[in-house]
Structure formats: C-alpha cells, structure tokens
C-alpha cells in the first residue's frame, strides 16, 4: 500500500466516520443521470447523491472508507469501488456528472493533473464536473510542513493543497468553466472568528 493510501486508511481505522454534517447542495440533473463521486470517504455526499434518481458510482483510494460508505444508510444502490481518482477504472465518456468534494486537494500536483485528465476522459460530451476544495484564503493554509507550493502536511501523512480560482480553472482546462467562485464563512474558535474559504466550481465538457 503506498503512503498516501495507507495514511487515509489509517485515519479511517483510528477515527471511523471522519465526515459528518450536511452535504453541500446538489445540482439539478435529469433522472437516470450516470454520476460519479471521486473520494467518497465515509459516504457523506454519497448518501445525498443516492437519494436522487441517478445511477451513482463512487470511488475512494481507502478500502476502509469504501467499507464505511457501504455501511452508511441509503448508499446500498451505489456502485462502490476502491480506486485511485488519478487512474479511473472506467471507460471513456460514460458519466454525465463527476463530483469532486474535497478530494483533489489531497493529491500532489502531478496527481491533481491526472485526476483532472481522468475526469475529462470519463465525462460524456455535455457532462459536468462539480468541484469543491479549500482556498488559499482558508485559515489552515500555511499550517504544517509545505511539501509543494501551497500544499501542507500536518503530520499524519495526509497533504492538503489550497487553491486559487485561476489555478482551478487552469487545472480543468479543456473543460469549459461554468462558474468558479469562493465561498467564505467564519468559524468561531475560542471566542475568535477565523476565516474559512473553499472554491466551488462547475465545468462542462463541450466537445
């Protein structure tokens, strides 16, 4: 098992369901849409995707995450696969939508580029990618050891990259940007308000 994969697996082994709370709002897609989630973790977003009349596939690099997602109520209809988002085991042009919710930032630069090309490859013409990841404005940017530009490791082998809007747009070219924006909010910690910020973007495969 490579270090990256084993770091995630170890985190799920120690802490179980890492991701809770409400999932981000979902877009309108037609009934029967073939949808792929990359980095589904313990199934927080996946459980919302499977409430929709869509055919849902999800992958995660961590076998433990996939087994937690499988056990989560409501996910039984999903096709769950242990796989690296940078090297997807699917034929080209088979998905109408791909969701990347806080996954691309956990790969090094080469991996992020490979994920973006894999997304381009598996999307049908007219299909869309829905991206979410932390911004350089987030309070955690700059914390830990910098392993690459704007990428930080906080000691457990897991890295987090913090994006700019321009960078996200460049990463997903040749997909056409539909919207790329920063969502900002405050997190209250020990009486102080700290800035949280994530980039949410939608891209469409036009040709």
Ligand X SMILES: C[S@@+](CC[C@H](N)C(=O)[O-])C[C@H]1O[C@@H](n2cnc3c(N)ncnc32)[C@H](O)[C@@H]1O
Rule CB under 6 A: which residues touch ligand X? 8, 19, 38-41, 44-45, 59-62, 65, 84-86, 101-103, 106-107
Strand order in the sheet with 159-161: 145-148, 151-153, 159-161
Listed in order, strand segments (DSSP E) in the chain are: 34-38, 55-60, 79-82, 95-101, 123-134, 145-148, 151-153, 159-161, 176-189, 192-204
Nearer to ligand X, 3 or 125 (CB): 3
- In whole angstroms, how close is the CB of 102 to ligand X at the nearest point? 4
Smallest separation, CB 198 to ligand X (Å): 11
CB of 13 to ligand X, least distance (A): 12
* Residue whose CB is less far from ligand X, 13 or 126: 13
Neighbours of 182 (CB within 10 A): 17
Hey, what are 31's tokens?
Answer: 């009934």
Nearer to ligand X, 22 or 149 (CB): 22
Cβ distance to ligand X smaller for residue 125 or 203: 203
Smallest distance from ligand X to CB 101, Å? 4
161 and 149 Cβ atoms separated by less than 8 Å: no
Q: How many CA atoms, within 13 angstroms, populate the side-chain half-sphere of residue 46?
A: 31
Q: Which is nearer to ligand X, 134 or 203 (CB)?
A: 134
- Alpha-carbon separation of residue 123 from 34, 153, 156, 185 (angstroms): 10, 31, 33, 32
**In the complex, minimum distance from the CB of residue 127 to ligand X, in angstroms, rounded to a whole number:** 19
């Amino acid at each position: 098992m490579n270090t990256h994969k084993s770091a995630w697996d170890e985190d799920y082994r120690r802490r179980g369901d890492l991701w809770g709370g409400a999932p981000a709002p979902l877009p309108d897609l037609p009934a029967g849409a073939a949808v792929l989630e990359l980095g589904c973790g313990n199934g927080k977003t996946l459980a919302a995707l499977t409430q929709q009349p869509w055919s849902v596939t999800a992958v995660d690099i961590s076998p433990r995450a996939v087994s937690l997602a499988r056990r989560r109520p409501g996910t039984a209809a999903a096709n769950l696969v242990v796989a690296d988002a940078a090297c997807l085991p699917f034929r080209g042009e088979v998905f109408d939508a791909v969701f990347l919710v806080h996954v691309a930032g956990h790969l090094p630069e080469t991996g992020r580029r490979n994920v973006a090309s894999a997304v381009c490859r598996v999307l049908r013409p007219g299909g869309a990618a829905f991206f979410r990841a932390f911004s350089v404005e987030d309070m955690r940017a700059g914390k830990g050891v910098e392993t690459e530009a704007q990428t930080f490791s906080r000691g457990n082998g897991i890295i987090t990259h913090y994006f700019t809007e321009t960078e996200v747009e460049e990463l997903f070219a040749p997909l056409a940007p539909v919207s790329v924006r920063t969502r900002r909010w405050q997190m209250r910690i020990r009486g102080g308000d700290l800035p949280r910020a994530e980039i949410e973007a939608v891209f469409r495969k036009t040709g």
